[in-house]
Amino acid sequence: MKPRTITLHGHEVSYREAGEGEPIVLVHGITGRSDTWLEVLPVLAERHAVIAPDLLGHGESAKPRGDYSLGAYASGVRDLLAALGYEHATVVGHSLGGGVAMQLAYQFPERCDRLVLVSSGGLGREVNALLRAATLPGSELVLPLLVSAGLVGAVDSAIGVLGRLGLRGRPDLEEMWRGFCSLGDAEARAAFLHTLRGIVDIGGQRVSATDRLYLAAEVPTLLIWGERDRIIPQAHGEAAHAAIPGSLFEVFEGAGHFPHRDDPARFAATLSDFVATTAPADLSDESRLRELLRRGA
């Protein structure tokens, strides 16, 4: 389960890989990294080949000055799978990773066996106010002050005291705090702002896949949401489920924005069962795509 590295297009990409069987690729959210999947990865690897990358600009992967659009991220995941010898996979995306997963399925349908969207972005306008605020002009000047070593050290100390008292924060708080701390690195901060401003503005999410969800009818699709998600509303998942014929929708009671962390056992079982009970998509027939595009939603 330890991270490995591979050089793609001159940039180091960090990833985790384990298991054998039908491949599953796990794509994290903004400011996230592959270790968000550590509690589910070993279970999934009992039956599947599992690949979990750090997207460029995140985690241990390179943080070049370049393209941080959804299309570039999707191409990066495609290239990683190809370099590791996987022709196709079930694509699982959390939050920003959901947008990447949908973009990959749209750009490279032959690579996507199934689509799993976990508290996914790109399905509606609403998003947490803190993310909207981070897109404002001047945030690149404010963020370094907010993630100063003094502030991070003070909060880390307080968290350490709570841990010694046997108190543990919710996964949402742990993941968001860890993501926030990652912005202390100037290159990671620049990648974060480039990514965020490409998909969110002060009014909310500005990139939406809702006008193309009818194409997902050809791909087995599972949506998973936390009942208490305060980052992206559950209503986005419900609307997407209604728009994708044949899709499945699972709500994790009591979970927040990271259902795979709130209930990893249920998450792994739900995902494994979905793969076992559905046939991979076959989108090799271009005439079918032409028919769908002409007919529209």
Catalytic (active-site) positions: 95, 229, 257
Query: CA–CA distance from 147 to each of 7, 19, 96, 184, 245 (Å)?
Result: 30, 37, 22, 5, 44
**Distance from C-alpha of 146 to C-alpha of 155, rounded to nearest angstrom:** 12
Give one DSSP letter per residue of 90-112, joined into a string.
EEEEETHHHHHHHHHHHH-GGGE
Q: Are 92 and 116 spatial neighbours (Cβ–Cβ below 8 Å)?
A: yes
Backbone φ, ψ for residue 204 (5° rounding): 130, -155
Spatial CA neighbour of 216 closest among 248, 180, 171, 183: 248
**Distance from C-alpha of 101 to C-alpha of 145, rounded to nearest angstrom:** 33
Helix (H, G, I), strand (E, B) or coil at 253: coil
Q: Are 28 and 94 spatial neighbours (Cβ–Cβ below 8 Å)?
A: yes
Q: Which residues, listed in sequence order, are joined to residue 115 by a DSSP beta bridge?
A: 91, 221
**Distance from C-alpha of 226 to C-alpha of 15, rounded to nearest angstrom:** 26
Q: Are 270 and 248 spatial neighbours (Cβ–Cβ below 8 Å)?
A: no
Q: Are 241 and 216 spatial neighbours (Cβ–Cβ below 8 Å)?
A: no
